[in-house]
Amino acid sequence: MIVAMQEAASEEQINAVMEIMEEAGVNVHRTTGATQTILAGVGPTASLDLSKFEVLPGVLRVHRISVPYKLTGRAFRPEGTVVEFPNGVKVGGAQVAVMAGPCSIENREQIFTTAARVKAAGASFLRGGAFKPRSSPYAFQGMGIPGLQLMHEAARENGLLTVSEVMEISQIESMLPYIDLFQVGARNMQNFNLLRELGQARKPVLLKRGIAATIEELLLSSEYIMAGGNYDVILCERGIRTYETATRNTMDLSAIPVVHKLSHLPIVADPSHGTGRRDMVTPMAKAAVAAGADAILVEVHPNADKAASDAAQTLYLEQFEDLMGQLRVIAAAVGRTL
């Protein structure tokens, strides 16, 4: 850490800051310039809350000079992580994986129809929500475990893996038989108790970026899971909240190359939530693959207009099939397969 003192800082103030740094176990190197004194601190600063130094008398600015995460950082696995599933499907390798399905599992026919069609089009994961976080208490809240059983059956019949959102620690155990990949939703990205429990789980985790989370915070949340011993984490960019209202969220595609630079973990793009509009999903999915996304997560429904949730951003099955054709060409253009 670096503490830059104000030009007018007194010797007493400088000493007080040095003392507090040392009490925190940090070794301090002082540089006294013509106009300004700089204190460089070395030691266990990853777990220190640096902002407390910023408000000490005489301090101008404080900067962290190391990254606050360890296991998630690129340096931990410079070659990159490939998450491999029991059936051999990989996320993070040369093949761009596709995860598709309805926002909510609604009934047997819906999920079986979807499974067959997305498999035929080339998807390797079937997605579907069983526990739905809805901003209104009066909206449809999901089918629960019976929905997951349906999805699991539909997936296995078609050779697909399953991915579904876990919202509560208490759901983990009961979801285990039916899902291959736990999804942590944007609203739970900093539900640290849940992340810690998933660190103990025996299945990979798809961690979505919070609606107002920085990329650094996403990596810190991933650290919670990895610190528990579960290294099979896949990150997900799904749009952040900005002032723009033409789209539901603003999809931050630069998160893809940024994550690849800072971390070894694979990253998935979700253009359905990223845009919130069916007519924007295809161009943004193509852009995401061009930017280097390791997988695409999209909402598809046999009767998209009447979907119980997220209808506006859900593709018709025909649109999805068309999208897959287009993605194949883009994947090839960036040296990957689909």
Residue from 283, 318, 325, 337 in contact with a second copy (CB under 8 A): 283
4 lines the binding site for a second copy (CB under 8 A): yes
139 lines the binding site for a second copy (CB under 8 A): yes
Q: Which is nearer to a second copy, 89 or 308 (CB)?
A: 308
- Give the H/E segment covering residue 148: helix 145-157
Residue from 23, 79, 88, 202 in contact with a second copy (CB under 8 A): 23
Residue from 235, 307, 323, 338 in contact with a second copy (CB under 8 A): 307
Positions in 117-136 near a second copy (CB under 8 A)? 133-136
| Interatomic CA distance for residues 230 and 114, integer angstroms | 31
Q: How many CA atoms lie within 13 A of 187 on its CB side?
A: 9
Q: Which is nearer to a second copy, 180 or 232 (CB)?
A: 232
Residue from 286, 298, 317, 323 in contact with a second copy (CB under 8 A): 286
Query: The tokens 């078609």 sit on which residue?
Result: 158
CA nearest to 131, candidates 113, 101, 105, 109: 105
Which token pair is 200? 């103990």
CB of 54 to a second copy, least distance (A): 6
Q: Convert residues 53-82 into a mask of x (bound to a second copy by CB under 8 A) and - (unbound).
A: xxxx---xx-xxxxxxx-----x-------
Residue from 110, 191, 263, 272 in contact with a second copy (CB under 8 A): 191
CB of 117 to a second copy, least distance (A): 20
Q: Quick one: which segment of 111-119, 150-158, 284-292, 317-325 binds a second copy (CB under 8 A)? A: 284-292
Burial class (CB in 10 A: 0-12, 13-18, 19+), 287: middle
Q: Which is nearer to a second copy, 279 or 318 (CB)?
A: 279
Residue from 175, 240, 295, 317 in contact with a second copy (CB under 8 A): 240
Query: What angle separates helix 215-227 from helix 255-262, to the nearest 10 degrees?
Result: 50
Q: Quick one: which segment of 90-98, 150-158, 216-224, 229-237 binds a second copy (CB under 8 A)? A: 216-224
CB of 112 closer than 8 Å to CB of 146: no
188 lines the binding site for a second copy (CB under 8 A): yes
Concatenating the DSSP letter of every residue in 296-333 gives EEEEB-TTGGG-SS-GGGPBPHHHHHHHHHHHHHHHHH
94 lines the binding site for a second copy (CB under 8 A): no
| Interatomic CA distance for residues 160 and 335, integer angstroms | 24
138 lines the binding site for a second copy (CB under 8 A): yes
Q: What is the CA radius of gyration of the chain?
A: 23
CB of 294 closer than 8 Å to CB of 97: yes
CB of 26 to a second copy, least distance (A): 12
Residue from 89, 236, 267, 284 in contact with a second copy (CB under 8 A): 284
Query: The tokens 């969220």 sit on which residue?
Result: 249
273 lines the binding site for a second copy (CB under 8 A): no
Which token pair is 63? 């900067």
Residue from 52, 159, 174, 337 in contact with a second copy (CB under 8 A): 52
What is the maximum span of the chain, computed from C-alpha positions, in angstroms? Answer: 76
Q: 26-30 contacts: CB < 8 A, separation 24 or more? A: 26/1
Burial class (CB in 10 A: 0-12, 13-18, 19+), 107: exposed
290 lines the binding site for a second copy (CB under 8 A): yes
167 lines the binding site for a second copy (CB under 8 A): yes
| Interatomic CA distance for residues 241 and 248, integer angstroms | 8
Q: Which is nearer to a second copy, 67 or 176 (CB)?
A: 67
Q: Which is nearer to a second copy, 161 or 218 (CB)?
A: 218
Residue from 181, 235, 236, 253 in contact with a second copy (CB under 8 A): 253
